[in-house]
Amino acid sequence: MTSVTSPAADGATARPGGAPTFAVITGAEVQQALQGREKEIVDLVEATYRLHGAGDTVNPPSYFLRFPDRPTSRIIALPASVGGQVGVDGLKWISSFPSNVEAGLPRASAVLVLNDHDTGYPFACLESSIISATRTAASAALAADWLTRTRPRPTRVGFFGTGLIARYIHTFLAGTGWSFDAVGVYDVSEDSAEGFCGYLRQSGAAGSGSQVTVHRGPEELIRSSDLVVFATIAGEPHVTDPDWFSHHPVVLHVSLRDLAPRVLLGAANIVDDVEHCLKAGTSPHLAEQLTGNRDFLDGTLDDVMTGRVDPPADRPVVFSPFGLGVLDLAVGKYVYDAVARTGHLRLIDDFFHELRRFG
């Protein structure tokens, strides 16, 4: 393995003679490239959503690998291509094995492969659980901003589910200027709830003067929050009463399967991509199956950002992001460029071997 200085952080490098190179970027390097850059990453995610809305991306359906002997587990492939200044193709390969938590491991693990725009050669493999959590959190923070521009800015946030994704979302909210008078916490695991509160206390992330409350149940959390974040591992809806949302909060429905269809039918619904979100048993997919149409959808986040849709203030507003591979690619390319600029991009010597057509 060789450490080299990349002459330009704009895609795959090449050795003398034109042989393509292949780099491996570790989780520590990913975290170092992203840490403390919340505003910059949110801007990048917004720009990527706008590219997607303008048709300058390719984002095919995600592919789910499921296992008859492990029904709660899955591995998902997200192929994608981003145009514009990013100009990269690639694939995220992310697994979700909930039983990992009992063994002391994170539920999700992932890698991201970046492919050169011109040759198609893969030029980097990055540890991607951090990239995935980062783009998810940046998307949530971006949605929170745009969906509250027509109403008073929320001062009470509630986290339903307190794992890694919840922590990243809170970090991105705080890193993009949000502060809250009250932070509510609920998790079916008391240990997880307490661990999240420990993160808030130790990092000072709750903000000076913020009151942190561990709620006894879901209803109490939701009714006491103006901004509700769902970040669970729920496989089917478990929040069924629309009346819990009668105070018209903004809901970041990141985990996608928490809300019963009738909750969505009483709300304004914003998604990241219609075709992607209405599948795989998500709450919006179940609402479509129940009603036989998509009339309950108000539009996409890009519709909101471009002014085609105005989120109402007299109903709950639910943002359900399926998670687009183009966001992973944009953030992954950002990381690759940042590591390349340090001069410590680690290349795998002779990763590509058969480079002569006739031997």
- The pLDDT assigned to 341 comes to 96
Listed as ranges, residues in the chain with pLDDT below 50 are 5-9, 16
How many other C-beta atoms lie within 10 A of the C-beta of residue 295? 10
Residue type, 57: T
- List the domain boundaries for the chain: 2-131+325-347, 137-320
Q: What is the pTM for the complete model shown?
A: 0.92
pLDDT of residue 15: 52
Q: Would you say 300 and 46 are in contact if contact means Cβ atoms under 8 Å apart?
A: no
Q: What is the CATH number assigned to the segment(s) 137-320?
A: 3.40.50.720
pLDDT given at position 1: 64
d(CA 135, CA 141): 10
pLDDT at 11: 54
Structure tokens at 148: 């509250």
Residues sharing a CB contact under 8 Å with residue 230, sequence separation 6 or more, in sequence order: 160, 161, 251, 252, 253, 254, 255, 258, 259
User: What is the per-residue pLDDT for 202?
Assistant: 81
Same fold, 2-131+325-347 and 137-320: no
Of the candidates 218, 120, 116, the residue with the CA atom closest to the CA atom of residue 162:
218
The pLDDT of residue 337: 97
- Tell me the Cα Rg of the chain: 21
CB 263 within 8 A of CB 240: yes
Q: Domain 2-131+325-347 falls in which CATH fold? A: ornithine cyclodeaminase, domain 1 (3.30.1780)
What pLDDT is recorded for position 300? 98
d(CA 72, CA 301): 30
CA-nearest of 115, 119, 131 to 23 is 115
Which pairs count as long-range contacts for 106-115, CB under 8 Å and 24+ apart, including other chains?
106/164, 107/163, 107/164, 107/233, 108/132, 108/164, 112/328, 112/329, 112/332, 114/88, 114/89, 114/90, 114/329, 114/332, 114/333, 114/336, 115/88, 115/89, 115/90, 115/91
Q: Which two tokens stand for residue 202?
A: 């130790």
Please give the angle made by the CA atoms of 9, 10 and 12, to the nearest 5 degrees: 95
